[in-house]
Structure 1
Amino acid sequence: MESRLANGLKLLYFKRPGPFDPGRVGARLPEAYRKFWDEWKVRKPEPVHYVPEPGKWRRDPVTGVVTPVQNVPIPVKYPAESHKGLWGGEGVIQGFTKKKRTVRRNPYFWTPNLKRSVVYSEILDKYMSVVVTERTINLIHKNCGFDHYILKTPACDLKSELAVRVKRQLLTALLKKDYHTDNSEKQKQIHEDYGHYLKSYTEEEIEWYGLTYREACRKLKQSDEAMSEPKPLKHQFRAELLAELLEETLVTDKIVPKESGGSWLSRINPFATKEEKPSA
């Protein structure tokens, strides 16, 4: 009876389709974007709201009982506002508070302490006013600068669409060397300090880095439309005609004089009137 019930539950179970399953637009996305997706959504982030206990087993110092270590992560919620700032991996924790043992517990939300600050990007040579947390500022100081913090931290720990887009701008600027073009010494110094971050990415991966799933699908759709868009044949025929006329002009070495009353193009225009056509 129990086996039949288990088989029935398996029949009622439908796997939720993934973003890259066959039949969806994401199935045709390149491997470069899937690498970013794994770094952003699949990779396990660094613990922020709890301190993981090392090892797999622990022994109670009083009783001597050995129990397995269970590092269960605290469920954290990241609202839409977190993607507009740099929260350093922090989020909103939902729980309960209880003042006394005999009093009923009350729901409570622990939110990070947010404040607006100004950060400076040495590569982009720009000051940016963003909403940050105290942990973000400490991480910037720990990594010796804003650019080092963004480039060194994986997307799963940044936890912000704004942060991954800034990281994409930094990688693109390093790839194209589009920074401090008027100062060669400064450009050389930045390349020596930040150029080693390009070793982990290819040009295609930088092109798809930092895009959301919808943005990546939209980009793929636009590229498909650009490739399949029919081109009018008149452009091809016009180019071929001009090439033939230019070749004949070079071979015969004949130039129409200005006194003839028009150019050589006006002579072969079939829609021109007799008055508009120049005399031979």
Structure 2
Amino acid sequence: MNGRKVYEIPNRILKFNKPDNFSFGVAARLPEAYKKFWYEWKKQKPVPVHYIPEPGKWKRNPETGEVTPVQNFPIPMMFPNECHQGLWGGEGIVRGFQKRKPRRRRVPHYWFPTLHRSVIYSEILNKHMTVVVTMRALDLIHENYGLDHYILKTPACDLQSLLAFKLKRKMLLSLMNRDLYPDDPVKREDVYNTYKKYLGNYTEEEVEWYGLTMFEAIKKQMNREEVMNKPKPLKIMYRAELVEQLQAAGIEEVKAALEEYEGNVKSQKISSWLSKLNPFSSRK
């Protein structure tokens, strides 16, 4: 055995896939439509918010002429639960250190975004909403010519808000079902033609699973499996098989007789219950 084969065996053993959130339990049975949203939210690289990335791979110091590699390290941010109740425009809480005096040790410090309460309007949903926003979120809404364009155009990793996810899901469902502005068909067609271009990025199943948290998605999947695996009475299965066999034999009269028999049985049950509830009915 040569040295190459000796080292191939342990390499194959050590190369294993790292388990993720969809490796075990009910999460492993979630559809690909939800996995697409989850990776868009958690794995996709967001747009830099609190720093400006340097272009290229190398840079030269203008004073010394030294060439060094460009290192764009994203600033770590924290997203509290309050950010999911408003629109922060991708901003979060920056945790770091601050040196307040030159001869003292640096101390931990948190930088919080400035929050404002504002009223925003959705043309697709035809609703005014009072939410907590940041100035960056308002600037992005103005740059995209409205809330609907901003929500539908921005990926989940840049929205970072469950409220924005729910709004985006409602907007896509309204466009897909074309149930917006039920009392004004002219306005409905105008709004639909304006925003229908965003439907090409999603299928009907992806819109159904969009914006759900992992807990909500697992609960939804469990409910679907419970309905699909619900046992059916054997008499219904046998009756359906019998009707199919009789239809294959060309006996249509038997099917009509079965339907008439089932109707008579239901009417007899209803009349028996009514006779029990009526105290003035004659009992023999």
**Are residues 236 and 162 of structure 1, via their aligned partners in 2, closer, same or farther at CA, if it must alter by over 3 Å?**
same
The Cα of 1:230 is off from its aligned counterpart by 2.3
Shift of 1:122: 0.5
Q: Tell me whether 1:39 sits opposite 2:30 in the alignment.
A: no
1:20 counterpart residue number = 22
| Counterpart in the other structure of 1:104 | 105
For 1:270 and 1:17, how far apart are their aligned partners in 2? 61
The number of residue pairs the alignment matches comes to: 249
Match of 2:173 in 1: 172
Equivalent residue, structure 2, for 1:244:
257
Shift of 1:228: 1.4
Distance 1:243 1:158, change over 3 A: farther
Q: CA deviation at 1:245?
A: 5.5
Q: Which residue does 2:76 correspond to in 1?
A: 75
> What is the alpha-carbon distance in structure 1 between the residues aligned to residue 38 and residue 227 of structure 2?
25
2:142 corresponds in structure 1 to 141
Q: 1:28 to 1:106 in 2, by over 3 A?
A: same
Can you list the C-alpha shifts for 1:207-230, whole angstroms capped at 9, x where unaligned? 111111111111110000011122
- For 1:25 and 1:68, the matched residues in 2 are separated by 45
Q: How does 1:219-258 map to 2 (within 5 A)?
A: 219-232=220-233, 244=257, 246=259
- For residues 41 and 272 of structure 2, the distance between their equivalents in structure 1, rounded to whole angstroms, comes to 63
**Following the alignment from structure 1 to structure 2, what is the Cα–Cα distance between the partners of residues 213 and 103?**
45
AA of the residue aligned to 1:26: A
Q: Deviations over 1:6-64 (max 9, x none)?
A: xxxxxxxx99741111x321111111111111111110000000000000000111111
Q: Greater CA deviation, 95-104 or 23-32?
A: 95-104
2:123 maps to a residue whose letter is: E
Structure 1 residue matching 2:222: 3-state secondary structure: helix
Matches of 2:217 and 2:103 in 1, distance apart?
Answer: 54
Question: Quick one: distance in 2 between partners of 1:88 and 1:74?
Answer: 16
CA distance in 1, matches of 2:17, 2:194: 47
| Secondary structure, aligned partner of 1:116 | strand
- In the other structure, the counterpart of 1:183 is 184
Which residue in the other structure is 1:52 paired with?
A: 53
| TM-score after normalising by structure 2 | 0.79
Structure 1: gaps spanning 5 or more residues: 1-13, 249-263
**What's the C-alpha RMSD, in Å, of the aligned pairs?**
3.3
User: SS of 2:217's equivalent?
Assistant: helix
1:218–1:243 CA distance, 2 compared to 1 (3 A):
farther
Q: Which runs of 4+ in 1 moved over 3 A?
A: 14-17, 231-243, 245-248, 264-267, 269-273
C-alpha distance 238-53 of structure 1, shift in aligned 2 (>3 A) = same
Q: Match for residue 3 of structure 1?
A: none
Identity of aligned residues (%): 54
Post-superposition offset of 1:106: 2.2
Shift of 1:99: 2.5
- How far apart, CA to CA, are the structure 2 residues paired with 1:219 and 1:178? 24
Q: How far apart are residue 242 of structure 1 and its match?
A: 9.8
